[in-house]
Amino acid sequence: MREFEQSEMLKRLPEQFFAKLAKKAQDLIEQGYDIINLGQGNPDLPTPEHIVKELQIAAENPINHKYSPFQGFDYLKEAVAAFYQKEYGVKIDPYNEVAILIGAKAGLVELSQCLLNKGDTALLPDPGYPDYLSGIAMANAESSFMPLLKENDFLPDYHAIPMDVLKKAKLMFLNYPNNPTAGTASKQFFDETIELAKQHNICVVHDFAYGSLGFDGKKPQSFLQSAGAKDIGVEIYTLSKTYNMAGWRVAFAVGNPSVIESLNLIQDHLHVSLFGAVQHAAAHALTGDQSPVLDLLATYEKRRNCLITALHKVGWRVDAPKGTFFAWLKVPNGYSSEQFADLLLEKANVLVAPGNGFGSTGEGYVRAGLLDTEENLEEAARRIGELGIW
């Protein structure tokens, strides 16, 4: 059979890190190994019942059996605006400052295609979400990495960015609470970001995927809560984590109208928006009963405390995450990230993500998810302890 050559764009794409990780776990499970999978970021609990019921009701409405409006129903955009006003005190124009997305990943990849040309530079956190690179590759643009170091609370040091890089930069990706480091950002940091972006005409994209997941009573800061944020950027919010709606593929971007217009334009050519029943259920999630959101946060905080306590008991002295549903764990001396991740998988049947998969600055760490029961998290720690490393 004839084999057709892939386009140059496809050849530029980076290896899909999470797909490789998922296959590694699945292969071992199929071989009969009892794997505790802490390597991925797929929420393990169901969507709240009241949201599912709204989907069922909406699925019966014939209006949702037709194509949705290209840029989404106005009622969902209005729900987004109401959500931001209630949660963050931020006023959003639902008709010019909201773009409905088929999942946050799609928006993050599309933004590079919207705003970057060949040879342009995007500033990326290192370590960071690997799929930021995908859109940059599609745009045939370049990446410059901002190290996230523990000594700087996993925030980029803007003074360390060379001036020639700042002059070429068109786009900056940020993500707080942060995947994978679980670090958080303050209003002061976002204020400084806005000043830098204004000075160098950089569009800021804040990936707020874990916006509901701040521990110890500290609510994560929205980028848009800082004055001037909408002048220079957008924030992307997904319902995947807040409402356990990962498989529903629904998210939105809010902020700068010109960026929102560009997102809507590219999506007009790629999609015909989301299934109307999903939009209806998403609007209900954003404006309805929020008690399941608080319950979920409490569950993750209990799991965090459980895992960190159990790891301390076996001698692995690691820091507790401040947010997200991940723990960023320092690898013991004498191991690289991949060596240690392989050891845990092969000898303890515990899958974690090696930190270097998120960027070179992630070397020396592994990422563990809080996406399993407290019993399994304790069992994972017990198995790790039996390796006798400490």
pLDDT of residue 16: 73
Task: Give the pLDDT of residue 388.
Answer: 86
Q: Is residue 331 part of a domain?
A: yes
149 three-class SS: coil
Q: Do 110 and 256 lie in a common domain? A: yes
What's the pLDDT score for residue 278?
98
User: Of 239, 260, 287, which residue sits at a domain end?
Assistant: 287
Asked whether 349 and 383 are in contact (CB, 8 A), the reply is yes
- Contact call for residues 384 and 352 (beta carbons, < 8 A): no
Question: Length of the chain in residues, anyone?
Answer: 390
pLDDT for 169? 96
Q: Residue 58 falls within a domain, yes or no?
A: no
Based on the domain organization, do 186 and 82 belong to the same domain? yes
pTM over 0.85: yes
Residue 223 shares a structural domain with residue 354: no
Residue 149 Cα to chain centre, angstroms: 19
Q: Is residue 184 part of a domain?
A: yes
Q: Is residue 2 part of a domain?
A: no
- Of 235, 268, 287, which residue sits at a domain end? 287
3-class DSSP assignment, residue 27:
helix
> d(Cα 214, Cα 211) in Å, to the nearest integer?
7
Please report, for residues 223, 257, 265, 351, the alpha-carbon distance to residue 96 in angstroms, rounded to integers and kept in the order given.
18, 6, 13, 43
Same domain, 302 and 323: yes
* 154 and 278 fall within a common domain: yes
Question: Tell me, what's the pLDDT at 222?
Answer: 98
**What residues are paired with 43 via a beta bridge?**
none
288 φ/ψ sector (left φ>0, alpha ψ -120 to 50, else beta): beta
User: Where residue 237 sits, what CATH number does that domain have?
Assistant: 3.40.640.10
CA distance 136 to 170: 11
Of 287, 312, 334, which residue sits at a domain end?
287
Within-domain flag for 246: yes
> Would you tell me how many other CB atoms lie within 10 Å of the CB of residue 374?
15
Two tokens, residue 264: 């809507």
Asked, for residue 198, whether it belongs to a domain, the answer is yes
Q: Does residue 227 sit in the same domain as residue 341? A: no
Block means of pLDDT (10 residues each) for the chain, 390 residues, are 91 79 79 89 94 97 94 97 98 98 96 95 96 94 97 97 95 98 97 98 98 97 98 98 96 98 95 94 97 97 98 95 97 94 93 95 97 97 92
Which amino acid does the sequence have at 330? K
Tell me: do 275 and 300 sit in the same domain.
Answer: no
Q: Are 332 and 293 in contact (CB under 8 A)?
A: no
Residues 280 and 295 reside in one and the same domain: no
* Domain enclosing residue 320, as ranges: 8-47+291-385
Q: 261: Cβ–Cβ under 8 A, 6 or more apart, which residues?
A: 96
> Helix, strand, coil % (nearest 5) of the chain?
50, 15, 35
Tokens of 382: 């017990």
C-alpha triplet 122, 127, 129: angle, nearest 5°: 70
Domain match, 355 and 230 both = no
DSSP 45: S
Provide the domain count of the chain.
2
221 assigned to some structural domain: yes
Element (H, E) at 366: strand 365-369
**Predicted pLDDT at 250:** 97
Do 364 and 316 share a structural domain? yes
State yes or no: cis peptide before 48, omega within 30 of 0.
Answer: no
Whichever domain contains 20, its CATH number is 3.90.1150.10
Decide: 331 and 362 in contact? Cβ < 8 Å.
no
User: Beta strand 169-174 with 121-126: parallel, antiparallel or unpaired?
Assistant: parallel
Same domain assignment for residues 92 and 212 = yes
Helices 49-59 and 276-287: angle between axes, nearest 10 degrees: 150
pLDDT at residue number 31: 87
207 and 68, same domain (yes or no): yes
On the CB side of 101, CA atoms within 13 Å amount to 29
> Quick check: 293 and 237 in contact, CB under 8 A?
no
Domain-embedded: residue 377: yes
